[in-house]
Amino acid sequence: MDTEELIRCYYDAFNAGRQAGMLALLSEDVIHEVNQGEAQVGLAAFGQFLRHMEACYEETVENLVVCLSPCGERAAAEFFIHGRYVGTDPGLPEAKGHTYHLRVGAFFEVAAGKIARVTNYYNMADWLRMIG
């Protein structure tokens, strides 16, 4: 599958809550650069991150736009996350089911047909204001 299809499949799996489907699209040594956090390496760390997110957030990607480098080894995605904060994330305000609609940018590296790096960025101050 080409890079755009790979990225779209990744977000389709995200929207469907299919964590195994997301993980199947990643390289064994995937680098995950988390917004406001430290980089994590490997499928096990990514899976742990997904389980944590599932416990704290209900989210759907909307209005996905994918942009590709000419060689297809890099991609960028812009989208909105429509979400609900359902479980208190340590170090963040108490979860009270507040909803949010947040612009997100994501950047990818692709190698051997798998996602080798995922970097996500969003405005944390906006998110905190939305869950107020």
Range of the domain at 59: 3-131
**Please, which residues bridge with residue 26 across strands?**
115
Percentage above 90 pLDDT, the chain: 92
Q: Mean pLDDT, to the nearest integer, of 84-100?
A: 95
pLDDT band, very low/low/confident/very high, at 6 (cuts 50, 70, 90): very high
Angle at 125 between CA 32 and CA 82, to 5 degrees: 65
Asked whether residue 36 carries a pLDDT value surpassing 90, the answer given is no
pLDDT of 62-88, one tens digit each?
999 999 999 889 999 999 999 999 999
Q: Mean pLDDT, to the nearest integer, of 34-52?
A: 92
Whether residue 78 contacts residue 105, with contact meaning beta carbons closer than 8 Å, is answered with yes
Distance CA 69, CA 49 (A): 27
> What are the counts of helices (DSSP H) followed by strands (DSSP E) for the chain?
4, 6
pLDDT band, very low/low/confident/very high, at 37 (cuts 50, 70, 90): confident
CATH code of the domain in which 28 resides? 3.10.450.50
CA–centroid distance for 45 within its chain: 14
What pLDDT is attached to residue 38?
86
Question: Among positive and negative, which fits the CA dihedral 27, 32, 108, 15?
Answer: positive
Q: Choose among 14, 23, 106: nearest CA to 53.
A: 14
Q: What is the tally of structural domains in the chain?
A: 1
pTM recorded for the entire structure:
0.93
